């Protein structure tokens, strides 16, 4: 395989000898804004798109990654060469009080496109109902196969996340776009596009009331709360939570796509919440970045971010199920991170640090601040990835429960149930 800087004449048959399956040989090209082009063949929707080209080192769970709303606007390159071999399940779970309605991470494919070295045309799994290619076609998402994903990944690692164009079919004959033609999703408020427009409830008879600010929630975050018997109220990302906060025992902030700088409004509202409200607050990924911004930390854009299910993080403090000095392997999908500054804002301390690049992986309120607030850059709920830190959800619900019991005068030592009444969906 090869990449090149100049205009080219596509050669569709080149390097495709291993693809002997029934996919039609529709040509497809990935153009990067930095001038390189990779020629392959289309699978999925026969349409051309723009996006931000990122790579993920995950080996499994392409279905969960592709439905994660945080990948919105991104062209997702899998470093694992063979993707698609277990097909795609029916994305519909029975709706009952213990479930959130989907098996995957949202109702549809969220990334703009996928790039796979060698797409599996044959698939086998007891839950599979269709192939990766058929699923992409149904959701109008293009894919390229037969390209050198190792070369693309090395470029993205060295030059950073790069704007890209996927040209499919006749569009491959057109010259690569001019620099100003590339669409940059980080300029848009993607959270506002994906967040729920209206509040809604899950498991309304649950024993502890949790408000969730939805920046583009993965379903497994909601499942992980519901499975711990939380009555969950999902609110739009910029909802005036302060006007209703006393109805709730805790606040959760979800993951979400794009630049957290677009969500400063939510960070300022949260700053007021943290100053005036003493109940537990937990945030994941975008939610963690919002907590950090509310605490006075800056968020910056990393070179290529961290995407994959094998990111080691070192705990710097003990809290709940987390032990200082231990390394946890985590699932991640982010481009931005909180700045590690010295000193940390008053009342806050670093919680986790990334073992590969020393980026901030978590923050928490200090004990003397009297508050229970945590944010983690990684995804304890995984889906996919390791469940090393899943008990952080139990820690959060337990804190909400003990706070509730202490203010109602019934100090209790009970721990929240971690098992669902019925088993649903993927993950823990």
Q: Which positions lie near ligand GLN, rule CB under 6 A?
A: 70, 255-258, 260, 285-286, 333-336
- Active-site position among 334, 381, 399, 400: 381
| Cβ-based neighbour number of residue 225 at 10 Å | 28
Cβ–Cβ < 8 Å for 182, 33: yes
Q: How far is the CB of 242 from ligand GLN (least distance, A)?
A: 23
- Active-site position among 136, 288, 379, 399: 379
SS3 145: strand
Closest residue to bound ligand GLN by CB: 285
Instruction: Give me Rg for the CA atoms of the chain.
Output: 22
Cβ–Cβ < 8 Å for 210, 247: no
Q: Which is nearer to ligand GLN, 27 or 256 (CB)?
A: 256
Q: How far is the CB of 11 from ligand GLN (least distance, A)?
A: 36
* Side-chain-facing half-sphere of 353: CA atoms under 13 Å: 12
Q: Which is nearer to ligand GLN, 220 or 335 (CB)?
A: 335
87: left (phi over 0), alpha (psi -120 to 50) or beta: left
Name the residue with tokens 């706070």.
Answer: 403
Q: How far is the CB of 67 from ligand GLN (least distance, A)?
A: 13
Alpha-carbon gap, residue 206 to 54, rounded angstroms:
39
Is 285 one of the annotated active-site residues of the chain? Answer: yes
- Active-site position among 285, 334, 399, 400: 285
Cβ–Cβ < 8 Å for 273, 241: yes
SS3 174: coil
Phi, psi of 31 (to 5 degrees): -105, 135
Phi, psi of 72 (to 5 degrees): -55, 135
Is 309 one of the annotated active-site residues of the chain? Answer: no
Q: How far is the CB of 345 from ligand GLN (least distance, A)?
A: 20
Q: Which is nearer to ligand GLN, 71 or 241 (CB)?
A: 71
Q: How far is the CB of 121 from ligand GLN (least distance, A)?
A: 30
Q: Where are the alpha helices (DSSP H) in 139-251?
A: 149-159, 190-194, 219-226
Q: Which is nearer to ligand GLN, 72 or 404 (CB)?
A: 72
Q: Which is nearer to ligand GLN, 133 or 281 (CB)?
A: 281
Structure tokens at 254: 């979800």
**Residue numbers annotated as active site:** 285, 379, 381
């Amino acid at each position: 395989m090869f990449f090149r800087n100049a205009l080219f004449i596509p050669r569709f048959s080149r390097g495709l000898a291993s693809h002997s399956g029934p996919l039609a040989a529709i040509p497809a090209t990935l153009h990067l804004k930095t001038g390189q082009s990779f020629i392959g063949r289309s699978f999925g929707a026969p349409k051309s798109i723009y996006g931000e080209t990122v790579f993920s080192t995950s080996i499994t769970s392409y279905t969960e990654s592709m439905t994660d709303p945080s990948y919105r606007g991104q062209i997702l390159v899998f470093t694992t060469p063979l993707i698609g071999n277990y097909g795609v399940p029916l994305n519909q779970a029975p709706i009952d009080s213990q479930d959130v309605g989907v098996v995957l991470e949202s109702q549809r494919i969220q990334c703009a496109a996928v790039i796979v070295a060698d797409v599996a045309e044959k698939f086998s799994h007891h839950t599979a109902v269709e192939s990766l290619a058929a699923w992409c076609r149904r959701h109008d998402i293009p894919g390229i196969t037969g390209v050198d994903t190792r070369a693309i990944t090395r470029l993205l690692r060295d030059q950073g996340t790069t704007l890209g164009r996927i040209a499919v079919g006749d569009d491959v004959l057109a010259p690569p776009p001019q620099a100003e033609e590339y669409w940059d999703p980080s300029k848009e408020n993607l959270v506002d596009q994906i967040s729920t427009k209206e509040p809604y409830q899950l498991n309304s008879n649950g024993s502890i009331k949790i408000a969730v600010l939805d920046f583009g929630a993965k379903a497994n975050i909601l499942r992980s709360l519901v499975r711990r018997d939380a009555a969950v109220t999902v609110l739009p990302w910029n909802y005036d939570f302060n006007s209703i906060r006393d109805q709730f025992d805790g606040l959760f902030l979800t993951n979400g796509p794009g630049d957290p700088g677009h969500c400063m409004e939510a960070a300022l509202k949260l700053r007021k919440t943290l100053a005036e409200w003493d109940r537990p607050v937990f945030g994941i990924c975008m939610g963690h970045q919002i907590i950090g911004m509310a605490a006075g930390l800056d968020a910056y854009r990393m070179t290529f971010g961290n995407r994959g299910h094998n990111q080691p993080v070192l705990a710097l403090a003990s809290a709940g199920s987390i032990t200082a000095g231990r390394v946890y392997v985590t699932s991640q999908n982010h481009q931005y991170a909180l700045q590690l500054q010295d000193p940390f804002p008053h009342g806050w301390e670093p919680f986790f640090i990334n073992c590969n690049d020393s980026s901030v992986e978590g923050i928490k309120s200090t004990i003397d601040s009297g508050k229970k607030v945590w944010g983690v850059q990684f995804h304890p709920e995984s889906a996919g990835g390791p469940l090393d830190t899943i008990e952080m959800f139990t820690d959060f619900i337990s804190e909400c429960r003990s706070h509730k019991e202490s203010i109602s005068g019934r100090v209790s030592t009970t721990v929240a149930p971690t098992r669902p009444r019925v088993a649903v969906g993927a993950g823990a």
